[in-house]
């Protein structure tokens, strides 16, 4: 009996030590990201301004409205005009630079708070996170309560897949009944969307879509290999993800232009929006051709746990593939070029394309990647205005959560980028904004630089691992 008491006390002490240690780790993480707290940045506490002397790019049409004024009141666009008289309001002189809507990345995977600052410093004022975990719900609450400065943040559920699609990164579903139960649970817990994945059976897929219709929650589909590709075009499916999945599924790994045109026509006819993630795939080509990619500048901004557990493994995998099969580099480059052609064909058919990068996977760095993605759409044949639509007004067409962003019109949220040059003429100017505004809070260049420096070579591997363990504990 005495021995049992001693063992019980030891276990209790160990539990207390673990609890205290975890508390300390979370406390240190909170301290290291305190620069994002609005209360700690005096210039971020104002969300009402009168902006003058700006050339306005509203994105409702391919035009520039010169010498405009914009009255921002409590984070909303209250009035736009050539002359606005307001008293007792802070005035921002745009110095005849260009004001355009903040960018939206519709396919990201967020691993920590530091990434939120990286998105803002790249002019991204809203993100759609597509690998939901419990900590994302806490993060979403902090952002919505305006405790921290961040892009607008919307998150999917954990990824739902079939029972034979193994992996800790997904939730395996064993029946249509379980699929319905999970959809209902995720809805109640506060996830914005339901995410389906590649191993979903047809019966489970139908159950998810039907339950989502009942609850009025959008589904985002990483296409399933077990469901005909075009059968995944559905009004409840907000977007289909990944251009490479067109090649892998309906085209059966062939770069078949005729079959692609059929897919593009049906996607347009069914009014199915599409999320390309060209950058995520192109990183494979970079891994195959750049021997120093592990030490490149952008890798310094990738979450350290992700870099250790995923990025390095991906580099080794593709380098080994190249050694085993020397034609791999050409095959990947040819497929990337076919992806560009795919975007061209989808666009010509009138498919709604939303900018998406797959940031937070392998070597796709948060924030930076949106500009590479937009340039790929340019290479695919879209005009600058059409490219910008994918990252501004188009997302407002696919989710109700985005219906008050993406264009500069009265009543919308004041999410802006101010740039020295006209992005309708030079897309690259968007990568170096003069300042960014999110929900009426103006983020100056010096603060944007701080966001970059705080995220560079960060050492938060342990807290990231704890979040991952929490995810496995709660969701698996």
Q: What is the pLDDT of residue 125?
A: 99
CB atoms within 10 A of CB 234: 17
Does residue 106 have a pLDDT over 80?
yes
Which residues, 6+ apart, have CB-to-CB distance to 210 below 8 Å?
180
pLDDT of residue 21: 63
pLDDT of residue 14: 66
Residue 23, pLDDT score: 74
β pairing state of 416-419 and 237-241: unpaired
Q: Which residues is 172 bridged to in the sheet? A: 161
Cα(226)–Cα(224) distance, integer angstroms = 5
CA distance 411 to 401: 15
Residue range 247-287, pLDDT digits in tens = 999 999 999 999 999 999 999 999 999 999 999 999 999 99
Domain 104-405 class in CATH: alpha beta
Q: How far apart are the C-alpha atoms of 190 and 310, rounded to whole Å?
A: 28
Q: Which residues contact 325 (CB under 8 A, 6 or more apart)?
A: none
SS3 (DSSP) at 107: strand
The total of other beta-carbon atoms located within 10 Å of residue 119's CB is 29
Cα–Cα nearest to 238, from 204, 271, 203, 200: 271
Domain residue spans of the chain = 104-405
Q: What is the pLDDT of residue 45?
A: 95
Q: Where are the alpha helices (DSSP H) in 96-254?
A: 114-121, 134-144, 176-189, 202-215, 244-248
Q: Sign of dihedral through CA atoms 176, 473, 212, 273? A: negative
3-state secondary structure of 73: strand
Do 127 and 153 meet the contact criterion of CB atoms below 8 Å apart? yes
Task: Quote the CA–CA distance of 183 and 207 in Å, as a whole number.
Answer: 9
Q: How far is CA 325 from CA 320, 329, 332, in A?
A: 8, 9, 12
As beta bridge partners, residue 160 has: 171, 196
In tens, the pLDDT along 373-400 reads 999 999 999 999 999 999 999 999 999 9
Structure tokens at 319: 């380098």
CA 205, 106, 265 angle in degrees (round to 5)? 65
pLDDT at 17 over 90: no
Q: Give the tokens for residue 474.
A: 């709660």
Per-residue pLDDT at 3: 73
Give the chain's mean pLDDT.
Answer: 96
């Amino acid at each position: 009996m005495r021995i049992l008491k001693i063992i019980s006390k030891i276990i209790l002490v160990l539990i207390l030590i673990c609890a205290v240690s975890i508390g300390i780790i979370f406390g240190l993480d909170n301290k290291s990201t305190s620069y994002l707290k609005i209360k700690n940045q005096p210039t971020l506490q104002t969300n009402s301004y009168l902006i003058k002397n700006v050339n306005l790019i509203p994105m409702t049409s391919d035009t520039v409205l010169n010498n405009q004024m914009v009255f921002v009141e409590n984070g909303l666009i209250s009035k736009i005009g050539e002359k606005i008289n307001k008293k007792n309001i802070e005035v921002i002189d745009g110095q005849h630079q260009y004001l355009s809507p903040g960018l939206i990345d519709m396919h990201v995977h967020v691993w920590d708070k530091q990434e939120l600052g990286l998105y803002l410093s790249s002019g991204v004022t809203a993100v759609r996170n597509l690998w939901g975990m419990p900590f994302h719900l806490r993060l979403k609450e902090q952002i919505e309560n305006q405790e921290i400065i961040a892009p607008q943040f919307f998150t999917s559920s954990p990824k739902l897949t079939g029972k034979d699609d193994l992996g800790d990164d997904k939730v395996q579903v064993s029946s249509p009944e379980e699929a319905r139960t999970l959809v209902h649970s995720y809805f109640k817990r506060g996830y914005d969307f339901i995410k389906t994945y590649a191993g979903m059976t047809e019966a489970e897929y139908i159950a998810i879509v039907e339950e989502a219709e009942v609850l009025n929650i959008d589904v985002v589909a990483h296409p399933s290999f077990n469901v005909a590709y075009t059968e995944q075009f559905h009004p409840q499916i907000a977007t289909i993800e990944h251009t490479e999945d067109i090649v892998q599924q309906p085209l059966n790994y062939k770069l078949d232009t005729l079959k692609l045109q059929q897919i593009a026509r049906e996607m347009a006819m069914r009014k199915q929006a599409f999320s390309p993630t060209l950058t995520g795939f192109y990183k494979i080509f970079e891994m195959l051709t750049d021997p120093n990619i592990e030490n490149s500048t952008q890798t310094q901004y990738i979450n350290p746990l992700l870099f250790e557990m995923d990025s390095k493994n991906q580099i080794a995998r593709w380098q080994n593939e190249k050694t085993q099969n020397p034609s791999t580099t050409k095959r990947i480059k040819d497929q990337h070029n076919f992806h560009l052609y795919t975007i061209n064909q989808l666009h010509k058919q009138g498919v709604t394309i939303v900018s998406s990068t797959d940031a937070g996977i392998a070597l796709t760095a948060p924030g930076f990647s949106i500009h590479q993605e937009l340039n790929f759409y340019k290479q695919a044949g879209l005009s600058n205005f059409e490219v910008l639509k994918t990252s501004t007004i188009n997302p407002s067409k696919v989710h109700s959560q985005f219906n008050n962003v993406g264009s500069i019109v009265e009543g919308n949220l004041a999410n802006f980028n101010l740039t020295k040059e006209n992005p309708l003429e030079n897309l690259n100017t968007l990568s170096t904004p003069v300042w960014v505004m999110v929900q009426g809070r103006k983020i100056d260049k010096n603060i944007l630089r701080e966001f970059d420096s705080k995220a560079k070579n960060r050492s938060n591997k342990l807290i990231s691992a704890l979040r991952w363990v929490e995810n496995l504990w709660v969701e698996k």
